[in-house]
Amino acid sequence: DWTSDVFIDATVEELKSRIGGDKVVMGLSGGVDSSVAATLIHKAIGSNLYCVFVDNGLLRKNEFEEVLHSYKDMGLNVIGVDAKQRFYDALEGLTDPEAKRKAIGRVFIEVFDDESNKLEGVKWLGQGTIYPDVIESVSVKGPSATIKSHHNVGGLPDFMKLSVVEPLNTLFKDEVREVGRALEIPETIVGRHPFPGPGLAIRILGDITADKVKTLQEVDYIFIQGLKDHGLYDQVWQAGAILLPIQSVGVMGDERTYERVVALRAVGSVDGMTADWIHLPYEFLGKISNEIINRVKGVNRVVYDISSKPPATIEWE
């Protein structure tokens, strides 16, 4: 029978004998998978694991600082890289979802390559690949912005010369969470909703600007914090807000407004392949809508997405 303790002991032993005294470099995303994989490798080889956490400017509000802090608390050897402007520059003027994904993937490789080249004598690349990623290594919408599916984007970067180590590639998400809890990784990381590699870039329909990111971060923060405060976060598989490329008429005091519309999305799912929209309480939705419109400048309308997958997808792009 599978238990997380048996898995951890066996995996750490295996990693020790496979990697020996070599150095491993690994990109962290703040998500469950890469965090659990890094913790296992760290348990096996300690400070020979070098982690890189890139701020692509497309993360949730405060996420980079908070997660970087958690990683340091967990004893990981982690370098935080502020690459926001590099990503914004690469995204400038791009509106097509696949073009945005490709640009993000390309810049991620460049940044990661720059960082790994600063380290001497690295032989391995650690990855948080889980079993479902192995079966469908390229998503329906194209390559995901994790390193694993970047093989088909442009030339091979230097770190691709490294041998790959993927300690979670036989596990499902719920097993990864169980292992994470057994390893005492903070619940804020282990219980975290999935978040796409291209981040908020695929939740801002159309072109990306730093201003739009800021607006969406505020909206998303109110929604996610609201779910947590009302005990709804753990009943939802994934949630987020989408900034729509339209404006609508509203009224504020005696003034006519013409401002942005945001959509809220919350789904239940097992693996993201199919998903149902969640029937969040009307009172909750009403409260969150008011809060968003009152507090986020430039937004005067909130809608709730009631489509399931299929035929809709979870993300809008």
> CA 191 → CA 30, 36, 198, 227, distances in Å?
12, 12, 20, 13
**Segment contacting ligand XMP by CB under 6 A, of 32-40, 143-151, 177-185, 203-211:** 143-151
**Segment contacting ligand XMP by CB under 6 A, of 47-55, 126-134, 191-199, 277-285:** 191-199
Strand order in the sheet with 23-28: 78-82, 49-55, 23-28, 122-126, 163-165
Which residue numbers belong to the known binding site for ATP?
29-35
309 binds ligand XMP (CB under 6 A): yes
* Nearer to ligand XMP among residue 194 and residue 250 (C-beta): 194
How far is the first Cα of the chain from the last one, in angstroms, to the nearest whole number? 40
Which residue numbers belong to the known binding site?
29-35
In whole angstroms, the minimum distance from the beta carbon of 295 to ligand XMP comes to: 25
Q: How far apart are CA 32 and CA 241, in angstroms?
A: 21
146 binds ligand XMP (CB under 6 A): yes
Of the candidate residues 48, 56, 144, 215, the single one contacting ligand XMP (CB under 6 A): 144
308 binds ligand XMP (CB under 6 A): no
314 binds ligand XMP (CB under 6 A): yes
196 binds ligand XMP (CB under 6 A): yes
Of the candidate residues 27, 126, 180, 272, the single one contacting ligand XMP (CB under 6 A): 272
128 binds ligand XMP (CB under 6 A): no
In whole angstroms, the minimum distance from the beta carbon of 5 to ligand XMP comes to: 29
> CA 85 → CA 89, 94, 104, 248, distances in Å?
6, 15, 12, 30
Residues that bind ligand XMP (CB under 6 A): 101, 139-141, 144-146, 194, 196-198, 238, 272, 309, 313-315
